[in-house]
Amino acid sequence: MKFTATKVRISIIVCSLLLCIAWGSGAWFYELDQFKLRTNSLIDKENEHAGTRGETISADIRRSLKVMYGLPEVLASWQEVVNVLKPQQRASDAIKQRLAKGRVDTTLSALEQINHLLLLAKSDFSADVIWIMDANGNCVAASNFDLPTSFIGTNYKEREYFTSAMGGNNGYQFAVGKVSHQPGLYFSAPVYLKQKVIGVVVVKVDITRLAHNIDISNTFLVDENGVVILSDAKHLEMKVVPGNTIDKMSIARRLSVYQREQFELVQIHAWPDSRYARLTMIENSPEAYVLNITSINGGELKIYVLSPAKEIVVLDQEYFRLFLLVTLCGSALIIIAAGIIWYVHGNLVTSQILQMQHDELHEAQRLAQMGSWSYEYASRQLHCSDELIHNFFMLEKLTVKPTLDHILVNILPEDQERVKKVFNEGLKTGNGYTVEYRIMRKNGEIRNVIGKTIIEKNEKGQRIKVTGTCRDVTEEQRVLRAIEASENHLRRVLNSSLIGIIQGNDTGVICEMNKAFMALTGYTKAHLFENKLRWKDIAAVEYQQLDAANIFGQIDTPIPFEMELKCSDGKLLQVLIGLAKIEELRSEWVCFVLDLSERNRMSRLKSEFISIVSHELRTPLTSIRGSLALLEGGITGELEEKSMELVKIAHRNSRRLIDIVNDILDMEKLDAGKMVFEMRSIEITSAIRQAIEVNQAFAANLNVRYVMHSFPEPAYIWGDANRLMQILTNLLSNAAKFSPSGAEVELRLCKAEHHWRIEVHDTGPGIPEEFRGRIFGAFAQAEDANTRQKGGTGLGLNITKIMVEKMDGKIGFDSEEGQGATFWVSFTAL
C-alpha cells in the first residue's frame, strides 16, 4: 500500500510537471505564433512605408533627371553652339539678339560670348556646370570659364556620356569630376552639322546639391555598378553594395569614373535573430532595419531605403513578459489542482493504510498466536485484539468488558491462583508482570501461554495506561524439546564414532570433542573448561595458524592432510586431519582425526615385503630361469623326452614368477612416484613393429599370430619409448593369451582428429559384463576357470592404464561376450 501510495504521489507530481510543461509549451508556441503574426504585420507595414518613401524619392529623382536629360538636347540645338564648334566662326545673329538684351558684352569674342551664354543657361536651368566639347572630347566652352577649376581645355573623350553622345545618342553617367573631384550626374547630347556629330553638350548636377532637394535620411543612392554615390551617412559613400559589378571594370576605367581603384564593401547582413529573417543589419549598427530597394530608369540608379524596426524590439520584450505571465498563471492553476488531488488522495491512502495496518496486526497476531490488550485509566476503556478475544478468552462475541475472571475461567485450575497472585502484585507495584500458565481450549487441547504486562506512567509517576500481551508458546516449547533431544542424539552419535572429532572457533579455542578423540589423545572434558585447550596446543608448528592455506585454503570442503598431533601426555601421534568451516557458521570449524598408526605399520610391512621380493626372490629366480634356459637349449647334451618336458615346465613357470615379481615392483614404483618417464618424440609405427617382433615368440607358443594392417607413416607422439613398448607388450600378450589356438590378433593404427589411436583386437571370449567396471583395477581378474588357467597377477592392465595416463594418453576397450575384445590406447599427435 505504501509503495502504491508513493507511486500515485509520484504520478501526481509527474503529471503536474508534464501539464505545466505542456501548458508552458502551448503558451510558448501560441505566443510565438502571435508574435510572428504581429512582427510580420509590422515588417510589412515598415516595408510598405519604405517602398512608398522609395517611390517618392524615385519620382523626385526621375523628375530632376528628366529635366536634365532634355537640357543638353536643347542646348545642342542652339545655332550658337554649332557655330562655336566651327573653325574661326563669329557670333551669329542669334547671339547678337541675345547680346542686344544687355546681358553680355558685345565686344567679346564668339567663344567668350558662348561661355557667358552657358553661364546664363546654368543659372536658368539649375545646373551646376554646362560645357561644350569638340569631336575629340576637348572642352572648348564652359559655364565655369571664369573659375580656377574651369573645365576648358580638359579632355573627356573616355567618358561614357561623351562616347554615347558621339554615337548619336543622349548620354548619362555618374562620375567623379576630373577637375572638381566632386561626384555628379552627367547628361550629354550630340551637336549635329549636316547630320554629322561635330561636338557634345554636357550638363552636370552635383550629387551634394541633389541631396538638398531630396530627403535622403536612412537612404542611400547606388549607381549601376553598385557604388554608393549619395547617403546621409557619409562613411558609406563611395563604397559598394553586395552584388556589385565593380570588379568587372578595369582599373583605368575605375580611375576615370571614380578617381580610385579600390572600394570597400557595405556590410549588409541578415539580422542575427533567426526569428526576424526579413530584417537587415547595416555595418555594425545595433539597430534593425527593413530594407527596400527601388530601381530608377531600369537600374541606372537604385534607392536603398532603410526603415527602422524599433517597434519589433519593444514587441519582443512584451512577448516574453506575456509568455511568463500566461505560463505562471496556468502552472499555478495546475499546481493548485494537483495539491487538491494530493490532499484527497492522501486522506484516502491514510485511511487505507490504517485499515491495512489494523488487518496486518490482527493477521500477524494470528500467525504468531499472540493477543494484545490495553487499558487507559483516564477513559477507563479496554481494547482487546480479535486474536485475544477468540483464541485466549474464547468468546464468540464480547458483550461485556473482559475481566480477570474471563481469563481465569480458561486457565487450568492448578495455575489459577499463581496467575491471580502475579497479576495483583504487578498492578500493585506498578511494574507490570510476566507469567507463564496453561489454558484449555474448547476441544480439550492444552496450550502453554506467556502473559506480559507493562504499565505506562506520566511525569508524576501516575499510571495512565496498561498494555499487555498473551503469546502461545506451545509450539516453541515443543521445538525446544525436540532440539534438545536432537542435540543429545547427535552427541551420542558423535561419541559413538570411531573417528576423533573436535569443534572450535576462529580464535583457535576447542569447544567440543567426542569420546573417540579423547580416547585417542588422552584429553578430557576438564581440558575444555575455561577455554584452556587450543588448536595451537595440539597441532604441529606448520599447521598452528588456522588461516593457513594448507588448512582451509579458499574452499569450503575438508582438505585432508597428515601431521603429528600432541597428546595430553606429550607424545606425538601421526594422524590424518580433515578441517572444514561449518556450514552457515563461518566463524566455527570442525576437525576429523584419524589414527594412522596401523596404516603406517602396514606400510612398513609392505615396504619390507617389496624389499624381500626385490632382493631375496627376483635374483635367485633370474638365476634359475637362466639355468633352465641353458638346459632346454641342450648345453649339457640332449635330454630324455620326459626330462625335457619337466625342464620346459620349470622354465615356463620361472618366467611367470619373474613376470609377477616385475609387475609387483612396477606397481610399487608407480605408487611411490619413482618410475621415471623420459619423454621425447616417438615414431609409433616403428614401435608397433618392434613390439610385434619382440612378442612373436610368445604368441607362437600359444599358436597365435599377430597381423599388422597397413599403418600410416610417419606417425609421431610425445612419450617414453620404453614405457610405450611395455604398454604394447601387455596388450599384445593379453590378446594372445585369450585368443583360441590358430587365431589371429589384429593391430590397427588410425588417426581421430588430433590423436593417434592404436587398437589391438582378439577373437577370444570377450570381457564379462560384471568384470568390465574393474578391469583396470589392481589384481583384477575375471572369476572363471578359463581366466585362472591363463595365469597372471591381475596387475598388467592396471599398470598399463597408469603408464598411459602418465604419458597424457587414454585407454579403453570395446567388447561383446563371445565376440572378442578390442583394447585401444590414444595419444596426442605431433
Instruction: Please provide the distance, in angstroms rounded to a whole number, between the alpha carbons at the two ends of the chain.
Output: 71
Shared domain for 437 and 403, answered yes or no, is: yes
Nearest-angstrom CA–CA distance, 207 and 133:
22
Q: How far, in Å, are 451, 640, 667 from residue 799 at the CA level? A: 76, 41, 6
Share of the chain above pLDDT 70, in %: 83
At residue 719, the pLDDT reads 92
* Whether residue 823 has pLDDT greater than 90: yes
Q: Is residue 625 part of a domain?
A: no
What range does the domain containing 790 cover?
Answer: 676-828
- Residue count (the chain): 830
CB atoms within 10 A of CB 178: 15
pLDDT tens by residue, 620-662? 777 777 777 777 777 777 777 777 877 777 766 676 676 667 7
* Whether residue 699 has pLDDT greater than 80: yes
Find out whether 526 and 532 touch, Cβ atoms under 8 Å.
Answer: no
pLDDT tens by residue, 707-734? 988 677 788 999 998 889 889 988 998 8
pLDDT tens by residue, 551-587? 654 445 666 788 888 888 888 888 888 888 777 666 7
* Whether residue 3 has pLDDT greater than 60: no
At residue 92, the pLDDT reads 45
Residue where a domain stops, chosen among 536, 561, 595: 595
Find out whether 224 and 205 touch, Cβ atoms under 8 Å.
Answer: no
Nearest-angstrom CA–CA distance, 453 and 475:
22
Q: What share of the chain is helix, strand, coil (3-state, %, to 5)?
A: 50, 25, 30
Shared domain for 393 and 426, answered yes or no, is: yes
Position 29 confidence tier, pLDDT thresholds 50, 70, 90: confident
At residue 758, the pLDDT reads 92
Burial of residue 419 (number of CB atoms within 10 Å: 0-12, 13-18, 19+): buried
Position 822 confidence tier, pLDDT thresholds 50, 70, 90: very high
At residue 1, the pLDDT reads 53
Q: 113: Cβ–Cβ under 8 A, 6 or more apart, which residues? A: 80, 91, 95, 99, 104
The secondary structure element, H or E, covering residue 758 is strand 755-762
SS3 of 701-742: the string is HCCCEEEECCCCCCCEEEECHHHHHHHHHHHHHHHHHCCCCC
At residue 554, the pLDDT reads 46
Q: Which three cell numbers stand for residue 80?
A: 550658337
Crossing angle for the helix pair 641-672 and 597-612, to the nearest 10 degrees: 140
Coil, strand or helix at 116: helix
Count of structural domains within the chain: 4
Q: Which has the higher per-residue pLDDT, 251 or 405?
A: 251
Q: Is residue 280 part of a domain?
A: no
* Whether residue 439 has pLDDT greater than 50: yes
Q: Is residue 94 part of a domain?
A: yes
Shared domain for 509 and 447, answered yes or no, is: no
List residues bridging with 451 in a β-sheet.
435, 470
SS3 of 53-65: the string is HHHHHHHHHHHHH
Shared domain for 390 and 453, answered yes or no, is: yes
At residue 730, the pLDDT reads 87
CB atoms within 10 A of CB 592: 19
List residues bridging with 562 in a β-sheet.
576
Give me the mean pLDDT over the 160-174 stretch.
Answer: 89
* Whether residue 393 has pLDDT greater than 70: no
At residue 201, the pLDDT reads 95
Shared domain for 683 and 822, answered yes or no, is: yes
Nearest-angstrom CA–CA distance, 689 and 699:
14
Nearest-angstrom CA–CA distance, 155 and 532:
135
Residue 562 backbone dihedrals phi, psi, to 5 degrees: -95, 145
At residue 611, the pLDDT reads 62
Position 137 confidence tier, pLDDT thresholds 50, 70, 90: very high
At residue 401, the pLDDT reads 64
Position 175 confidence tier, pLDDT thresholds 50, 70, 90: confident
CATH code of residue 714: 3.30.565.10
Residue where a domain stops, chosen among 472, 489, 508: 472
Give me the mean pLDDT over the 797-814 stretch.
Answer: 88
CB atoms within 10 A of CB 304: 24
pLDDT tens by residue, 228-273? 888 878 888 888 998 888 888 888 888 888 888 888 888 888 887 7
Lowest mean pLDDT among 97-111, 712-726, 743-757: 97-111
CA 430 to chain centre: 65
Q: Is residue 259 part of a domain?
A: no
DSSP state of 94: H
* Whether residue 806 has pLDDT greater than 90: no
Shared domain for 682 and 814, answered yes or no, is: yes
**How does DSSP assign 548-587, residue by residue?**
-TTTTTT-SS-EEEEEEEE-TTS-EEEEEEEEEEETTEEE
At residue 681, the pLDDT reads 92
Q: Is residue 404 part of a domain?
A: yes
Work out the mean pLDDT of the chain and round it to a whole number: 79
Q: What is the pTM of this model?
A: 0.38
Shared domain for 168 and 186, answered yes or no, is: yes
* Whether residue 199 has pLDDT greater than 90: yes
Shared domain for 755 and 707, answered yes or no, is: yes
Say which amino acid occupies 711.
Answer: F
DSSP state of 377: T
Position 782 confidence tier, pLDDT thresholds 50, 70, 90: low
Position 211 confidence tier, pLDDT thresholds 50, 70, 90: low
Q: 502: Cβ–Cβ under 8 A, 6 or more apart, which residues? A: 510, 512, 513, 514, 517, 590, 591, 593
Q: Is residue 641 part of a domain?
A: no
Shared domain for 560 and 578, answered yes or no, is: yes
Q: Which has the higher per-residue pLDDT, 250 or 663?
A: 250
Q: How far, in Å, are 415, 450, 459, 467 from residue 428 at the CA level? A: 20, 20, 19, 15
Position 104 confidence tier, pLDDT thresholds 50, 70, 90: very low
CATH code of residue 386: 3.30.450.20
Lowest mean pLDDT among 45-54, 187-196, 751-760: 45-54
At residue 97, the pLDDT reads 45
Q: Is residue 231 part of a domain?
A: no
- Cell 500493585 locates to 428
At residue 780, the pLDDT reads 52
Nearest-angstrom CA–CA distance, 429 and 434:
13
pLDDT tens by residue, 282-326? 887 878 888 888 888 777 788 888 888 777 767 666 767 777 887
The most confident of 77-91, 121-135, 458-472, by mean pLDDT = 121-135
Shared domain for 721 and 816, answered yes or no, is: yes
Give me the mean pLDDT over the 413-430 stretch.
Answer: 82
**How does DSSP assign 194-223, residue by residue?**
SSSEEEEEEEEEEHHHHHHHS--TTEEEEE
Residue 344, sorted as left (phi over 0), alpha (psi -120 to 50) or beta, turns out to be: alpha
Give Rg (Cα) of the chain. Answer: 65
Shared domain for 134 and 194, answered yes or no, is: yes
- Cell 569630376 locates to 177
* Whether residue 550 has pLDDT greater than 70: no
Q: Is residue 804 part of a domain?
A: yes
pLDDT tens by residue, 469-481? 888 888 888 888 8
Nearest-angstrom CA–CA distance, 522 and 223:
128
Residue where a domain stops, chosen among 185, 214, 243: 214
Farthest-apart Cα atoms in the chain, separation: 194
* Whether residue 753 has pLDDT greater than 60: yes
Tell me which residue of 107, 105, 83 sits closest to 94, measured CA to CA.
83
Position 616 confidence tier, pLDDT thresholds 50, 70, 90: low
Shared domain for 467 and 487, answered yes or no, is: no
Lowest mean pLDDT among 154-168, 239-253, 723-737, 771-785: 771-785
